[in-house]
Amino acid sequence: MISCSRLKLLVVIFFLSIFFFNNAYSQTKIQDSVFKLEEVIVTAQKRSELLHNVPFAISNLSAKQIEDLRLWQIKEITSVIPNFYSSDPGDGRDVTSLRGIATTSYDPATTVYIDGVNQFGLDTYIPTLFDVERIEVLRGPQSTLYGRNAMAGVINIITKQPSNTISGSASYSIGNYGQNRMNLSIKAPIIKNKLFFGASILYDARNGYYTNQFNNKTYDKQNGFFRNYFIKYIANHSWSFLLNIKNRNQRNNGAFPLVMGADNAIAEPFSLNQNATTTMIDNTVNASLSIHYSGHSFDFLSQTAYQSNYRYYTNPIDGDFSPYDAITVINNYGKDWNKSKVYTQEFKITSPTASNNPLKYTAGAYLFYQDAPVKQGTRFGADANSIMMVGDSLFTLINSTKSNKKGVSFYGQLSYAITPKLNFTAGLRNDYEDQTQTVKGEYQHDPMPKPITIIPDTSANIHFSAWSPKLALDYHFTEHTMGYANYSQGFRTGGLSALSSDPSQPPLVGFLPEHSNNFELGLKNNLWHDRVNLNIAVFYTKVNDAQVPSLVLPDAITITKNVGKLNSKGIEFEFKAQASKSLFIQYSFGYTDASFTSLQLSSQGSSINLNGKKQLFSPDLTSFLALQYTMQINPGKLSTFVRGEWKYLGTTYFDLANTIKQSPYSLFNASAGLNAKQFSLQAWFRNISNQKYIAYAYDFGAAHLGDPSNYGITLSYRF
């Protein structure tokens, strides 16, 4: 439960915000049209509409807000959005929790879309943010329109598109830890009203936060090169074509900077001792072709997409996180392995955007095919027997898995205005998925030139289907106040277990999809001539057949089983106010109580009862406060601003037994700068107090810290 002191703090913050607003409002005689919150158009329901009219909880971050927040990675949205938490163990693969529904495998619980393309899994998605127009975070199950793995919600990222206007930008950021970030962007018509081109290029590099005591060198030094290209062709007033290609090439000299034991990680922050060092190569391609038809009776969209990710370590990576030659992991077996490829196709029909018909509809079909061959060797070095008592040393266990997934789904959703104030929404989706997996196990002992097969090629097949309904009612009490109630079901795909080194965990064991029932009530308000936005939502989610992960060591293979039931309930609060022409206030608050009502795990032949334990990666409380004051030096030409942010995260658990946890902590950020018509200069400070906290931990005890204190400056030019 929320403590009394926390409640008092929240009440104080809320009334201080109201006080600042009322004070500024009473002293300002500027016309209403001069300062107010911007009107927000979103595509959360796969059609354009006002955010205020969407009958479920959704948060929107505009391009300006993204710049003000200095968001460079998706995980930095943590706590800015109520009940949102995201982190990674140092490899750039975010584990995201939303409303207590957390990612526990390579099939995420929160789906990420970038420019309409489903970032199919943790391998193929791009976590870096640049040249972004807006971010929509849809909270609660969105399986009806978005399908598999949208059980917690959807992160919908829209980048800046080319148009008839020549525009562009250039920015350069420099900071401590050798931070260098350069972004160039241009959008221009090649043939006016017909052919358009857009390109954005980003280079991002920094030194490592960690020091490796084994060789006294920095660890997790990173650099990345990112590209986003657009070609748009408008054939006539009805037909248009958009080709988009995104590339991500990331290099990480020291992925997985982990320390055994959360207490050790805090006691000696950003220090580790690993004998095996390597570079992680991470190359991603994301390409799509969108064909759009806009007619009097309906709009049509076809989107064909291809995604691939090739990820490997140039040398074996440390698997025991120690200076001993005990365990290393090998996955550099050539381009035929560890390269995931995904093909998707979506067809969508919607009612015309400008239609005044009381009936609005969306219908479509979605198809996909995924090919993911994985080959990984677990090397037991010279110290393996003496340190880990495995009975031998100098041998390698090689596991190969070929996984193919294909599926098809059909969906439809309609909204009908029963009266000018009352709307009814209903939707239904059916997903069908087929998976085939083949595994092979090999053994190679020094000095054997070739491995021998210990588990021959063995295959299994699994298929399943799921229905995802949705019902909603929304009522507009006034033009500026809307209440809603909805029910929806969530769906996360099932699968087959991988081959591991643990003989007690047999491969190719099927696990079922995860299903949830979600109930939500909410109220949305635009107050004081659109100067204040206030949203409140309460929710209750019940998860059946909960997929519970078990990490098998030393090869770090996740085995998933349906052994749990989870209930999650909570409240969310969002407040934005353009208190005056100069003062902007933003506050968000989320409380989640996500507990397993049934959880029985097997360990060494016995059963462990974990009923009542809390969900992983799900802070019980998130809070975010931002105040930004802008002063006009030369109106329309030059202004200055100062901004302060306070993030607060509650107790977070990282293992099912709830023995590894991070106690509540606060993070403070600040920025200040100058804005001219085309130039801006910003100084930024993140984690000012240099708070040490566990951002990610594995259930076997290896922990990764959140980022230390960062500071720097950003110079930007726009035209």
CA separation for the pair 274, 381 (Å, rounded): 14
Task: Return the minimum-mean-pLDDT range out of 113-122, 132-141, 428-437.
Answer: 113-122
Q: How far is CA 588 from CA 78, 152, 531, 604, in A?
A: 11, 19, 17, 44
Confidence band of 22 (pLDDT split at 50, 70, 90)? very low
Beta bridge partners of 251: 223, 281
Judged on CB neighbours under 10 Å (0-12, 13-18, 19+), 381 is buried
pLDDT in the model for residue 31: 43
**What single DSSP character describes residue 407?**
E
How far apart (Å, rounded) are the C-alpha atoms in residues 75 and 97?
10
Can you give the length of the chain in residues? 719
Residue 14 pLDDT = 43
Of the candidates 57, 62, 64, the residue with the CA atom closest to the CA atom of residue 40: 62
Candidate from 94-108, 429-443, 461-475 with smallest mean pLDDT: 94-108
The DSSP result for 597-626, as a single string, is EEEEEEETTEEEE-TTPBPBT--SEEEEEE
Predicted local distance difference test score (pLDDT) of residue 17: 44
- Identify the pLDDT of residue 24: 43
Percentage of residues of the chain with pLDDT beyond 90: 76
Mean predicted confidence (pLDDT) in 19-42: 56
Nearest-angstrom CA–CA distance, 489 and 145 = 11
The total number of structural domains that make up the chain? 1
Average pLDDT over residues 57-72: 95
Question: Looking at residue 643, what is its pLDDT?
Answer: 98
pLDDT-wise least confident of 7-16, 160-169, 558-567 = 7-16
Q: What's the pLDDT at 50?
A: 85
DSSP states of 294-357: E-SS-EEEEEEEEEEEEEEESSPEESS-SSSSSEEEE----TTSSEEEEEEEEEEEE--TT---
Read off the CATH number of the domain in which 411 is found.
2.40.170.20
pLDDT of 719 higher than 50: yes
Question: Phi/psi at 416 (nearest 5 deg)?
Answer: -130, 130
What b/e sequence results for 637-661 when a residue is b if at least 16 CB atoms lie within 10 Å of its CB, and e otherwise? eebebebbbbbbbbebbbbbebebe
Task: Give me the chain's average pLDDT, please.
Answer: 90
281 token code pair:
């190569």
Taking the C-alpha atoms of residue 326 and residue 93, their distance in angstroms, rounded to an integer, is: 26
Q: What kind and span of H or E run contains 589?
A: strand 583-603
The residue that leads in pLDDT, 502 or 628, is 628
- C-alpha distances out from residue 262 to 211, 473, 654, Å: 17, 46, 10
Q: Taking 80 as the threshold, does the pLDDT of residue 35 lie above it?
A: no
Q: Is the pLDDT of residue 690 over 90?
A: yes
Is pLDDT at 477 greater than 80 in this prediction? yes
Average pLDDT, integer, range 401-413: 96
Q: What pLDDT sits at residue 20?
A: 44
Check whether 263 has a pLDDT greater than 80: yes
> What distance in Å separates the CA atoms of residue 262 and residue 269, rounded to the nearest whole number?
10
Q: Is it the case that residue 18 has pLDDT exceeding 50?
A: no
Strand partners, 392: none
Using alpha carbons, select from 429, 430, 431 the residue that is nearest to residue 412: 429
Over residues 623-635, the mean pLDDT reads 95
Task: Tell me the mean pLDDT in the region 622-645.
Answer: 95
Q: How far is 148 from 515, CA to CA, in rounded Å?
A: 10
CB of 177 within 8 A of CB of 125? Answer: no
How do residues 483-541 score in pLDDT, each as one tens digit?
Answer: 999 999 999 999 888 877 666 677 888 888 999 999 999 999 998 888 999 999 999 99
Q: What is the mean pLDDT of residues 299-326?
A: 95
Q: In the predicted model, is pLDDT for residue 29 greater than 60?
A: no
**What is the rounded distance in angstroms from the CA atom of residue 13 to the CA atom of residue 18?**
9
Bigger pLDDT: 78 or 560? 78
Spacing of C-alpha 535 from chain mean position = 22
pLDDT at 1: 45
Report the pLDDT value the prediction gives residue 548, as an integer from 0 to 100.
82
Edge to edge, the sheet with strand 84-87 lists: 84-87, 95-98, 101-102
Host domain of residue 46 = 4-718
Q: Give yes or no for a cis peptide into 269 (omega within 30° of 0).
A: no
Predicted confidence band at 276 (pLDDT cuts at 50, 70, 90)? very high
Confidence label for 555 from pLDDT (cuts 50, 70 and 90):
low
Q: Between 605 and 388, whose confidence is greater?
A: 388
Return the minimum-mean-pLDDT range out of 9-23, 212-226, 299-313, 539-553: 9-23
Q: What is the mean pLDDT of residues 352-377?
A: 92
User: Do strands 510-511 and 110-114 pair parallel, antiparallel, or not at all (unpaired)?
Assistant: unpaired
The pLDDT, as a whole number, for residue 96 is 93
Report helix, strand or coil for 67: helix
Mean pLDDT of 550-574: 83
